[in-house]
Structure 1
Amino acid sequence: MKLFSKEQIYEGDQLTIERQKISSTDLMERAGTQIFNWINLRMQGAQVPIHIFCGIGNNGGDGMVLARHLILEGYNVKTYIVNYSDKRSKDFLINYDRVKNITKKWPEFVHNQDDFPEIKQDHVIVDAIFGIGLNRPVADWVKKLFIHLRKSKAFTLSIDIPSGLQTDSIPLDDDCVVLASYTLSFASPKLVFFLPKTGKFTINWEVLDIGLDSEFLTNTNTTFNLIGKYEAIPIYIPRDKFSHKGQFGHSLIIGGSYGKMGAVTLASRGALSAGAGLVTAFIPKCGYQVLQSSFPEAMVITDANDDYITNVEFNFSPSVIAFGIGVGVNMKTVEAFKVLLETNKVPMVIDADGLNILSNHPHFLELLPEETVLTPHPKELERLIGTWSHDFEKLEKAKEFSNKHKVVLVIKGANTITVFENKFYINATGNPGLSTAGSGDVLTGIITGLISQGYNPLSAAVFGVYLHGKSADIAVEDYGYQSLIASHVIEYLGAAYMDLFKQPETSSEKHKDDA
């Protein structure tokens, strides 16, 4: 799914108006009607008080359209105008007059704290105060209104974006942003829904189709893309009935040190479970029995050293090499890594201590094959690209790093973001259960196994992150967040593959299952 920028959304609105020969008021009517349909479907006429807070711009105009439809449908609606400016948009005024024409309960003006209404926990709040056009701090009394709404603990529905949240910056004060239970976003979700410092302002979101010009939606290129099931399906490469293991490559997993053989075991299992034809683990001698007994499907080569890797030698041609999982940073290991980089010609995936070695020896970056996949967690990323003051700066630095070194950068997090060639791919799967030891090792293995089969490194990274998260989403239904461990992600990887082609249940099938 494309994530349109603020400027692109404005362009899409204007093109829709021109090509469909409608007015901006007509487009606003579509938006407000879609919000009404969403609410009406769920509330089914329930007489819970609905408090609609409208700004005096176009977001407030959407709120006015919604208020009119709810009033005409007989809902218990109270509408407020948050009067933060003397300026009003044309379409807001048109829809304000339309509300006045259908009810004697005219919208109430809110000018300061004395005008705040009482809101109870079982009420509903609709936030239509500020839209994506906000580019300045909110007034102090508006901030107090936001705090008042939050303290009510009522279900809060934001229109397009939680008010106070800007599309391209981080709030300086969390109290200056509405905390939305749900956000109904037009055209596409907003990038800020997926970043650590801004995603917390909406618990859930959904995109509403307001009929923007189809050519604009299809042909407009976006810098950010959200990867869900329907974006993952085209990446998948099916297998031929007569295929054999030799067609799916040979993954070489290099890592491990004394006490850290579990990481290599998990990565090796991840690679084979992702579909690699063959997997060989290159490890220090102390891990031989561990690998051979715990994962008999893998082949094993050992270093001459007992406790850590000192010299990487193998007598076959791997399809892909993963390096760094549990490997440590002993100077002999560092030297072995350098020699490997100087001689290697196949794709690579680098994680964990491999990333730390690159950070400590940045000239090694020049030795990486193009499109090497790096999979850092936040601290490892910081060591690679330097510190950042906010999420937008982090993304910009990550893009510059990826372009400079021609690497695929996988920024692990709640919504893992893959960066390559000025494009960002935001993952939609995964859950807090992945916050557990070894889950990153499994991801490294999965990406390695996909490259082994013939996926290009970018596709392997994007698809691998999706499968990793989806496997955890399926597994968590059985184990819960706290009890999910990395091995479960591997065990449910097959279910994640099968889910790609699982048809959604119809309402009648759900009813049959419930019965």
Structure 2
Amino acid sequence: MKIFSIEQIRLADKLTIERQNITSDELMERAGTAVFNWMNRQLTTKEVKIHIFCGIGNNGGDGLVIARKLLEQGYSIEVYVVNFSDNRSKDFLLNFDRIKELKLWPKLLTKDSELPNIGAQDVVLDAIFGIGLNRPADDWVAQIIDNINNSGAFVIAVDIPSGLYMEKALSEKDMVTKADYTLTFQLPKLVFLLPETGKYTKYWEALDIGQDPKFLYEEECNTFYLDKYNILTFYKSRDRFSHKGTYGHSLIIGGSYGKIGAALMSSEAALHAGSGLVTAFVPKCGYQTIQTAFPEAMVITDDDENYITDIKFGVNPTVIGIGPGLGKHKKTITALAKFLKGNDKPLVLDADALNILSENKELLEFINGKAILTPHPKELERLIGSWENDFEKLELIKQFSKDNNVVVVAKGSHTAVVYGDQLFFNSTGNPGMATGGTGDVLTGIITGLVAQNYSLLQAALLGVYIHGRAGDLAVIRSGVEALTATDVIDFTGDAFLDLYKKNKNDYQENANKTP
């Protein structure tokens, strides 16, 4: 699913109006109707008090359409117009007149008005500011937003929580509505997927308002919300005449004394992701553990008992995953540097392999064009430097990816996959996956996919999706607190099977483009 810039969203509206021969007011009616229909399906009673806060622009106009429809259906509503400017949009004024024709006069809120009394059992509809906001709200408007946030009411934001900017970070002066649910139009917004701004909406849903499908399909875009439809455009079914050699050979290099489990989980995950063969290269202390716990793997050991000190192997792998449990012993650092300088295989680099790279950046030239890096936030900071906000972080990742010609998988909620200027946010995963070992599992899954001749970008995209989906399926059984990394491995097969299951949200062809 594409994620548009503010200019692209405005162009989509403009072309929809032109190509469908409708007015801007009719498009606003569609948007308001879509939100009303959602609310009408969710609300169990018409007795609940609904407070509708409208600005004086098009977002406020949407709010007035919703208010009119709620009133027509007998809901108990109170409508407020937050009068922060004398410049009202024409469609706002049109809908302001329409609701007055129904004998409802919205309450005008100014800097001298008392704050509305909102009950904890009430519902608030936030339609104060839309996507065009570019400066902090006036202090008195910020007090209205703060009053909403402190009310305890269930808050629904129209398109975007008021106070958020579409394409820049927040400052200390900004006050933002904290929405329980955001009903956005057609496509998700980037700010829903970033930690610093995504926290202002617990849940969001993109409502179809009939924007021009040709534009949605053809418009070039570098930012995507990765869903099942995207994955199915490049997912490869197996040929019934294939054999284990068809699906590649994954070599996992990692482990050290006390951390053999990391290499074990990565190796198991590579096999569960479909790699034809898996070999684990570990210190001698890991031999018995892996041979016993994972009989499907082949095992090669370093001469050292406790650490990787000399990376030599007598196999010809398709891809090499390196880093889980590796440690940073002096001899390990030397061994990794020597290995990278002579390696010509695709790589998946994680954990201490990344930490060693961050401390020896001259080694980056040896992974150019042939590596996927999977850092967690602190590993990422060591690689690219610190950042002021999430927007700057994304630009730094893009620049690092371009400078080194690598795919970067920035792990976290809505894991971001970056390749050059292309940016993909994952739609799967849950907080239960914030536990030790899940990153090692991801490394193995991605390694196993590269072995099957997926491109580096495709392997990263499919890997994060399947990894997160396995976690989503596993958490149904375990709950978030008890979810473990090995649970994710166990449900990897279920995640692949889930690709074939269809539901109403699976295919949004007009809003997507093959990655």
Q: Same fold (TM over 0.5)?
A: yes
1:74 alignment partner AA: G
In the alignment, is residue 91 of structure 1 matched against residue 91 of structure 2?
Answer: yes
Larger RCO, structure (CA 8 Å, separation 6 or more): 2
CA distance in 2, matches of 1:113, 1:38: 34
Corresponding residue for 2:269?
270
Q: Deviations over 1:262-317 (max 9, x none)?
A: 10000000100100011101111111111111111111001111111111111121
Q: How does 1:103-122 map to 2 (within 5 A)?
A: 103=103, 105-112=104-111, 114-122=113-121
Give the deviation of 1:174 after TM superposition: 8.2
Q: Deviations over 1:170-198 (max 9, x none)?
A: 22248700000111111211000010101
Corresponding residue for 1:47?
47
SS of match in other structure, 2:236: coil
CA distance in 1, matches of 2:335, 2:354: 14
1:341 alignment partner AA: L
CA distance in 2, matches of 1:81, 1:53: 6
1:48 alignment partner AA: V
Greater alpha carbon shift after TM alignment, 173-182 vs 46-55: 173-182
Corresponding residue for 1:311?
310
The root-mean-square deviation of aligned C-alpha atoms, in Å, is 1.4
Q: How does 1:72-91 map to 2 (within 5 A)?
A: 72-91=72-91
Corresponding residue for 1:286?
285
CA distance in 2, matches of 1:186, 1:113: 33
SS of match in other structure, 1:109: strand
Give the deviation of 1:115 after TM superposition: 2.7
Give the deviation of 1:240 after TM superposition: 1.4
CA distance in 1, matches of 2:265, 2:473: 19
Give the deviation of 1:235 after TM superposition: 2.6
Corresponding residue for 2:250?
251
Structure 1: where are the runs of 5+ without partners? 507-515
2:310 alignment partner AA: N
- Contact map agreement 2:136 2:173 (CA 8 A) in 1: no
SS of match in other structure, 1:481: coil
CA distance in 2, matches of 1:115, 1:17: 39
Give the deviation of 1:233 after TM superposition: 2.0
Q: How does 1:318-397 map to 2 (within 5 A)?
A: 318-397=317-396
1:434 alignment partner AA: M
CA distance in 1, matches of 2:276, 2:270: 9
- Contact map agreement 1:113 1:145 (CA 8 A) in 2: no
Q: Deviations over 1:10-68 (max 9, x none)?
A: 01111111112221111111111111111122226622111110000010011111111
- Contact map agreement 2:137 2:174 (CA 8 A) in 1: no
CA distance in 2, matches of 1:315, 1:23: 70
Give the deviation of 1:505 after TM superposition: 9.2
Corresponding residue for 1:132?
131
Greater alpha carbon shift after TM alignment, 350-359 vs 148-157: 148-157
Structure 2: where are the runs of 5+ without partners? 506-515
1:378 alignment partner AA: P
SS of match in other structure, 2:196: coil
SS of match in other structure, 1:3: coil
Give the deviation of 1:369 after TM superposition: 4.4
Give the deviation of 1:334 after TM superposition: 1.4
CA distance in 1, matches of 2:390, 2:48: 39
CA distance in 2, matches of 1:505, 1:225: 20
In the alignment, is residue 241 of structure 1 matched against residue 214 of structure 2?
Answer: no
Corresponding residue for 1:513?
none
Q: How does 1:168-317 map to 2 (within 5 A)?
A: 168-173=167-172, 176-317=175-316
CA distance in 2, matches of 1:20, 1:437: 52
Give the deviation of 1:113 after TM superposition: 6.4
CA distance in 2, matches of 1:320, 1:142: 56
SS of match in other structure, 1:450: helix
Give the deviation of 1:230 after TM superposition: 2.0
Corresponding residue for 1:510?
none
Corresponding residue for 2:144?
145
Corresponding residue for 2:68?
68
Q: Deviations over 1:82-135 (max 9, x none)?
A: 0111211111111101111122x3000111364322111111110000000000
SS of match in other structure, 2:199: helix
CA distance in 2, matches of 1:234, 1:49: 45
Query: For this pair of structures, how many residues does the alignment match?
Result: 505
CA distance in 1, matches of 2:46, 2:498: 36
Corresponding residue for 1:410?
409
CA distance in 1, matches of 2:10, 2:406: 33
